[in-house]
Amino acid sequence: MSSDLGFILITTVTAFLSYSTNALLHSGSASHGVSPRDYYLTTDAHWFNQTLDHYSPHDHRKFRQRYYEYLDNFRAPDGPVFMIICGEGPCSGIAKDYMSEALNVKLNRSSDNPWFFFGVSYPGALSAWFRLKFPHLTCGSLASSAVVHAVYDFSAFDQQIAESAGQECKDALQETNKLLEIGLKVNRKAVKALFNATELHVDADFLYLTADAAVMAFQYGNSDKLCVPLVEAKENGGDLVETYSKYVRDHCMKVWGLHVRPYNRKHLRNTVITAESTYRIWWFQVCTELAYFQVAPANNSVRSQQINTEYHLDLCKSLFGKGTYPDVDATNMYYGGHKIAATKIIFTNGSQDPWRHASKQTSSPELPSYIMDCHNCGHGTDLRGCPQSPMVIEGKSNNCSSPDVVNKVRQQMVEHIDLWLSECRGSTRSSK
C-alpha cells in the first residue's frame, strides 16, 4: 500500500455494549502496565451537543457526546474520513489497530470528503445498518464480527463453542458443568466463593457467569488458557471445579476484566444512571429487540441446561416488567438480518467466534464476506489480531496461528475500500 496517506480518523462513542456476553468491562481493569499512548493514536477527547431524542420534534434536550479525531495524515480539503464506531469496551481514544495504521488508500480525490464507516461486534452491525439506511452519506462500511441477524434461541452459539473446543476440552467442560450443578446443591455458598461470586443468589445467574467465562476463551482466541489446564486436570484425576475457578479468577477476572455485577439482578434493576448503567442498557436491547438468547443446545452443550429460553425471559421480566419480549422478527424485517439489502459492506468473521452465526457469512460482489480460519481467530481478528480481549488492543496478525490467512483478508479489505472510495469519488464528480 502507498505511504501517501490522506485520511482523517474520527471515532465516536455509542452506548457501551459488550458483545462477548454479559462480561462488560470497566476502564482500567486490565491495563497490563501499558500506557495509553502505546495503545492509542490520540486520547484527546472532543465534545459536541447531540440531540437526546431524534424521534420527537418537541424534545429539544441535548447531551454532550464525546468523539476523537486524528488529523496527522489528513490531506485537506478532500481526503476521506474514516468513522470508527466505538463499542464493546471503554472508548478512550483512537486505537492503534490494523485499520488505523494500515488503511492507507491512495486516490486522486476531488472536492467532497468521502466517508467510510467501521465497527467491530455490535458497532459492526451499526456500521452495516448505517450503510443500509443512509447509502448517500457513506462510500461503504466494514462490518467486523457484525451481529446483523437477531436470533431468538441462539443455540448455534454454544454449538460453535463445542466445535472450537475440540473433543477433549468439550468433554472436560461438560463434566465441569455437571460438577458445578452438583456442588450448588450440596454447598452453593462454597462453590460460588471459589469464583468470587457469592453475591449471585440465583444459581442460574451464577451458571451463566461460568458459561460466559468459557466463551471468553474461544471468542477472543485464548482457548489454550482454558483447555490446557482443564484437560490436564481431567486426565490426571484433578479437581475440575478448582481448576476452572482458577482460570476464571486468574484470567477472566484479573486479565480480561470479567466482573460479577453484570450478572447480579439486584444491580441490573438499578435505574439510576451511572457509568455501570451500560449493563442494563445492553439487557434492554436484548430483551426488546435482539434476543441472542444463548441457550444450551439439547445435545452437546457446554453450558448448563438451566440456561434456557425460560431463564432469559424470566430475567427480562425481572428487569423490565411483565410483557417484555424481544421482537426479533421485526428487527430482522427492518434491517434485513442475513439478507440485508445493502451494497458495499465488507463482512469479516473469525472461525472460532461463536457470534459469526449472527453475522453475514455468505459472500457476493457487493457484500463480500470473509472467514479467517485459524486456531485463535476470534472476534474482530481482522482489526485486532490474536489473541486479544476487548481491553487489550493488539492489531497485528503475528500472534494468529495462521497469520497469512488474516493478512490475506486484510489485503482484500483494503482492495474493496480502495475501489469503493474511487467509485464514490467518480460518482461525486459526475453529479457536478
How would DSSP label each residue in 206-273? HHHHHHHHHHHHHHTT-HHHHHHHHHHHHHTT--HHHHHHHHIIIIIITTS---SGGG-HHHHT--S-
**Residue of 70, 75, 142 lying closest to 108 (CA atoms):** 75
Q: How does DSSP classify residue 50?
A: E
Can you tell me whether residue 12 is helix, strand or coil?
Answer: strand
Q: Identify the active-site residue in 223, 353, 359, 416.
A: 353
271 vs 279: CA distance, rounded Å: 11
412: Cβ contacts below 8 Å, ≥ 6 apart: 368, 370
Annotation says 338 is catalytic: no
Number of H helices, E strands in the chain: 13, 12
User: Which amino acid makes up residue 187?
Assistant: N
Cβ proximity of 119 and 146 under 8 Å? yes
Longest dimension (CA), the chain: 76
Cβ proximity of 143 and 84 under 8 Å? no
How would DSSP label each residue in 348-383? EEETT-GGGGGS-----SSS-EEEE-STT--TTHHH
Q: How does DSSP classify residue 299?
A: S
Can you tell me whether residue 161 is helix, strand or coil?
Answer: helix
Q: Identify the active-site residue in 18, 20, 100, 121.
A: 121
How would DSSP label each residue in 71-139? -TT--TTT--EEEEEP-SS---SEE-SHHHHH--------SS--EEEEEESHHHHHHHHHHHH-GGG-S
160 vs 235: CA distance, rounded Å: 24
Annotation says 379 is catalytic: yes
Q: Please identify which residue in the block is written with the cell numbers 476502564.
A: 27
257 vs 280: CA distance, rounded Å: 18
How long a stretch of residues is the chain? 432
Q: Identify the active-site residue in 351, 379, 382, 397.
A: 379
296 vs 299: CA distance, rounded Å: 8
Catalytic annotation, residues: 121, 353, 379
